Amino acid sequence: MQNPSLAKARLVQDPSPDVPAEGVVDDEWNSHAFLSRMSVLVPGIIYVFNHQTQSNEYSNRSIADLIGFSPEEIRQMGDTVLEKVIHPDDIAGLGAYFAGLRRLAPGEQDTYEYRARAKSGKDVWLYSVDTVFDRAADGSVLRHIGLASDITRQKQAEQRLMELNAELEARVAARTDQLNILNRELEARVARRTLELSDSVRELEQLTYVATHDLKVPINNMCSLSSMLNDTADDMTHEHRETLSWMQNVCNQARDKLEALVSVAQVQSNRLPPFGPVALDDILAAAKTALQPLIARSDARVTCDFSAAPTVHFARAEMANIVENLLSNALKYADPARPPVIHLASWSQDGMDCLAVRDNGTGLDLPRDRDKVFGLFKRAHAAPEGSGVALHAISRLMQRIGGRIDVDGAPDQGAVFTLRFPVKGQIFSSPQEDSECRH
């Protein structure tokens, strides 16, 4: 007895069945007609593969559009159809896939991608969706039906994408090699530069030692000698006394310059003491005690507001030195026309602790004098006398810890010096950082 499903499949081979007489309703004919029309309209190859004969029993007309062989030519190939139509590299895989269709449950389907060799010799990628529709009594597959779609463009796009990815990976690898070479060169340069800086630091330390010991002793001896000669000045002529006075001034200047150079060198080379929370109230109290005679003589008023940031994370001895120097600087450059008023304030901003020292003194002509304020042996005012070292040393110290000191002011309107200290646990900012604390 003929398999009814197979009979329907064979009927589909004829896309134009006879039309029944008018008024006759034939359900079977309508079903066959529907399948016939669908087989023509579907944009893909509909086929029936016989597992016993290893041949295609049916293919719709789309097979000619996709691979150039007519349905009749495919049927005539018999059991050589896979060998003649499928790409040699895909025959084994496709055969294994067909054999594996036995595991499908009724109604289930499976998919597979493979290449077909077109009549023109061109390879066409196909994507098949297959299901079993005829089994033997033992469950083995007799026939399965499938729909194969052309995915050549998709595969070409995937291939192009793979080529682009491979090209990109090759470029990345080449660039990585270049970066590794540059990195090694940079590391070598950094190592050489570090060695040079280490040598410079050692030389600076040696110079500091020489200035502290080898030069300081003879200069002090010259100062002592000039002082001893001064005790006998009454026995000298006027010209000799003038010469002695000049010699004393030169000795004192040399001593002051040497002490200034030693101070700057120590700021740059000495190891800083451990940092910790420093109470600004205590630091200011100590500075006022040290400068009390100058404060009383000038009738100065010193006020503070440390409520926003009572402490800073810094070395206590260095903090005391900075505050005392800034307070002394404000008293030194007070306006003779009014009593000095100095106000210190602290706050936190942008991950930094800020301390400002504001005065109502003679002020500064900025930006003209900005470089002079923090320059070594430079001074923005001709009077009173000074070494031009203290503010330079503070600036270098602040840069060394990742902080900063800045100044603002105007002639006859006083000045304000603002220090920025890195907060504990924060990465130190660059000394060249453009942002500033504003109060």
> Above 60 in pLDDT, residue 34?
no
Residue 71 has pLDDT above 70, yes or no: yes
Q: Which of 172, 114, 145, 132 is nearest to 39 (CA)?
A: 145
Question: Which letter, b or e, does each residue of 408-426 get, where b requires 16 or more Cβ atoms within 10 Å of its Cβ?
Answer: bbeeeebbbbbbbbbeeee
pLDDT, residue 21, reads 40
CA–CA separation, 134 vs 126, rounded Å? Answer: 23
CA–CA distance, 124 with 148 (Å, rounded to integer)? 11
pLDDT category at 220 given cuts 50, 70, 90 is: confident
Cα(350)–Cα(404) distance, rounded to whole angstroms? 13
**Lowest-pLDDT choice from 80-89, 135-144, 284-293, 424-433:** 424-433
Distance CA(76)–CA(63), nearest Å, equals 14
- Give the start-to-end residue ranges of the domains of the chain: 4-150, 158-269, 276-422
Tell me the fold of 4-150: Beta-Lactamase (3.30.450)
The pLDDT, as a whole number, for residue 437 is 42
pLDDT of residue 407: 86
pLDDT-based confidence at residue 262 (cuts at 50, 70, 90):
low
Q: State pLDDT tens for residues 166-207.
A: 999 999 999 999 999 999 999 999 999 988 888 877 777 776
pLDDT tens figures, 296-311? 999 999 999 999 999 9
Q: What is the pTM of this model?
A: 0.45
Name the more confident of 227 and 433. 227
Q: What is the pLDDT of residues 109-125, one digit of tens each?
A: 999 999 999 999 999 99
**For position 228, what pLDDT does the model report?**
81
CA atoms within 13 A on the CB side of 383: 2
Residues 6+ apart with CB under 8 A from 208: 262, 265, 266, 269
Residue 54 vs residue 350, higher pLDDT: 54
Measure the CA–CA gap between 349 and 308, rounded to whole angstroms: 10
pLDDT at site 323: 92
- 379, two tokens: 């001074």
List the CATH code of the domain at 276-422. Answer: 3.30.565.10
